[in-house]
Structure 1
């Protein structure tokens, strides 16, 4: 009998999404338990030494940090998502780390307080994605025609831009045709769609509003313009 697994989640966490996508792609059954990170319960802090999601409970063991969880799933579960070639596998791991840098730039973008800072952070994101553009091949996915963990990692990155695009055009993906096609392919992937709940878009909009930065003010202006 398979060891029961529970994914301890936060509704907006992109690192949770990458685990959910990998579990789905591997055809694994698991429970999902949501935690409020603004009011962390004692049981969660006992599982997560850093107080962050995701946590994957495997039987009586709690695994934390998304990269470690992804590697555990690769080591123990069927349907590998890493390439079999060691050099390609190492490159994929490096691009997974690059994805974490993209998420940090996204956080800086939605936290910007004025137009100068927002433009600077948008330019930084464009530079990141321009590097990806240079390394993408001709297939539907990062490594060609086979969905990989790199794809699972970047799907939550691009999901942010579904909300950003409703606020305005910030030029982050301008001229990056391969990246834009990759983003569209990822958005259509069933495992990517299932990685978040139906409340995701509204919860992200509320989160951006609470940040109080320029993006939240632009979002309010966009809503007012649509209503008038």
Structure 2
């Protein structure tokens, strides 16, 4: 029997969610170890070159663990080594295009970080507009691809695993205030709905995720919270 993989995690991290979704999609047993990034344990700092999550601990025959870091690297490793459904296209060009859109998802997360943490109204609006523009790019891409429900049609892929945690943020944000970010992106909205119903996506976080995210916003005194109740 193969030794179990361990995913070192944080409760909110969208990059951790990518790896968790990939593991769940492939039905690979794994242990999840959650750490507090505000108080990183020594053992974590010793094995994490960048001091970030996720990490994937892979047991080796000598009794030690190999440690993988960076979410896309972890997802690619799982794709190459684990059984279960393929999460990348077989065609090399399509596979490269999917990897590029995974990187685009990371660029969205960079803007999303500013959107959710800034206390400044002007910065908030700049980030909102940046997100509008990026999701319009995604809308254009979806228009040229097979008709859903997922990024490339009927088959769930690693691009879906990357974007599902992004959309999850807005499940909470929309309860605070309508951002209007998705007003002109009907295909993105349909994709978002489909991903929210996927079991692997739902189970990639704890049930208390919304409460944890709201606490995070409060800790950062986020401008977003000042919009509560506005039309």
Does structure 2 conserve the Cα–Cα contact (< 8 Å) formed by 1:210 and 1:216?
A: no
Report how many residues are paired.
221
Q: Which residue of 2 aligns with 1:94?
A: 100
Does structure 2 conserve the Cα–Cα contact (< 8 Å) formed by 1:209 and 1:217?
A: no
Does structure 2 conserve the Cα–Cα contact (< 8 Å) formed by 1:105 and 1:125?
A: yes
- Hey, what's the Cα distance between the residues in 2 that align with 1:49 and 1:29? 25
- Hey, what's the Cα distance between the residues in 1 that align with 2:179 and 2:227? 12
Q: Which residue of 2 aligns with 1:18?
A: 18
Q: Which residue of 1 aligns with 2:131?
A: 125
TM-score (norm. length: structure 1)? 0.94
Task: Give the Å deviation of 1:198.
Answer: 1.3
1:66 to 62, 67, 71: 71
Equivalent position SS for 2:57:
strand
1:83 to 89, 108, 113: 89
Report which stretch shifted further, 178-187 or 112-121: 112-121
Task: Give the Å deviation of 1:193.
Answer: 0.2
Equivalent position SS for 2:19:
helix
- Hey, what's the Cα distance between the residues in 1 that align with 2:207 and 2:90? 35
Task: Give the Å deviation of 1:217.
Answer: 2.9
- Hey, what's the Cα distance between the residues in 2 that align with 1:14 and 1:135? 22
Task: Give the Å deviation of 1:216.
Answer: 2.9
- Hey, what's the Cα distance between the residues in 2 that align with 1:211 and 1:16? 21
TM-score (norm. length: structure 2)? 0.93
Q: Which residue of 2 aligns with 1:190?
A: 199
Does structure 2 conserve the Cα–Cα contact (< 8 Å) formed by 1:140 and 1:185?
A: yes
- Hey, what's the Cα distance between the residues in 1 that align with 2:42 and 2:120? 38
Q: Please state if 1:108 is matched with 2:114.
A: yes
- Hey, what's the Cα distance between the residues in 2 that align with 1:216 and 1:35? 26
Q: Which residue of 2 aligns with 1:215?
A: 224
Task: Give the Å deviation of 1:169.
Answer: 1.1
Cα-to-partner distance string for 1:22-60 (whole Å, 9 max, x where unaligned): 000001001110001000011111121111000011111
Report which stretch shifted further, 174-183 or 113-122: 113-122
Gaps of 5+ in 2: 60-64
Gaps of 5+ in 1: none
- Hey, what's the Cα distance between the residues in 2 that align with 1:90 and 1:109? 29
